[in-house]
Amino acid sequence: MTTLDLTRAELALIVLYLNKAEARDKICRAIQYGSKFLSGGQPGTAQTVDKNTSLARKVFRLFKFVNDFHGLISPVPKGTPLPLVLLGKSKNALLSTFLFLDQIVWLGRSGIYKNKERTELLGRISLFCWLGSSVCTTAVEIGELGRLSSSIKKMEKELKGGEKQHDEVYRAKLQKSNDRTLALVKTSIDIVVAIGLLQLAPKTVTPRVTGALGFTTSLISCYQLLPARPKVKTP
């Protein structure tokens, strides 16, 4: 491939990435929490950027609650243990509720819905739903990683030395394990972010800590959404 072809391919990946509403939302999330870290909860330009970006992000999430509601009523893969099924469905229910209430919060903070006290109450309830969904997701990821680990160990006993590196199923399970480990790290940190937003431990999880951790999980989310690079054919 020529340099021009490589440039076109890279730009095509960037366009594909930015065409995703979810990717744009996570980029805005990084700006939001980065501003929260810089402001440290103090009035100023950084705090204004934090609040304005937070409000703008809610537009990206309009009707997004339908995704998790669909997951709530969808059948689960056969063989999934009942505890993981219940945790997964709880996560869907809580996240769907969070996203639904978040739309009402957006209406209130944009001036369409006039009841300010109700808006703040619903905003707090929605954050508790997000905290609960993060806890459920963390438990699900731990359970699924345990199942994957057992499956990988079983395959390692069956496959001989060099065969492991050439076995597509084995490699796919390793990649899935890595992906779930990263997801576990992200959702575990998000629990602390939710605690910070709810001010449940204000002396420990300060606005600056919340901003730093939220910025970190935003970068992880941006990485998770990156499109796969096409394999370059060698002559």
The pLDDT assigned to 234 comes to 42
Asked whether residue 180 carries a pLDDT value surpassing 50, the answer given is yes
H helix runs in 110-206, sequence order:
116-158, 163-166, 168-198
- CB count within 10 Å of CB 190 equals 24
Q: What is the pLDDT of residues 203-232, one digit of tens each?
A: 999 999 999 999 999 999 999 998 876 655
- Summarised one tens digit per residue, pLDDT across range 50-82 is 999 999 898 888 889 999 999 999 998 888 899
- For the cut 50, the answer to whether the pLDDT of residue 235 exceeds it is no
Please state, rounded to an integer, the average pLDDT across all residues of the chain. Answer: 90
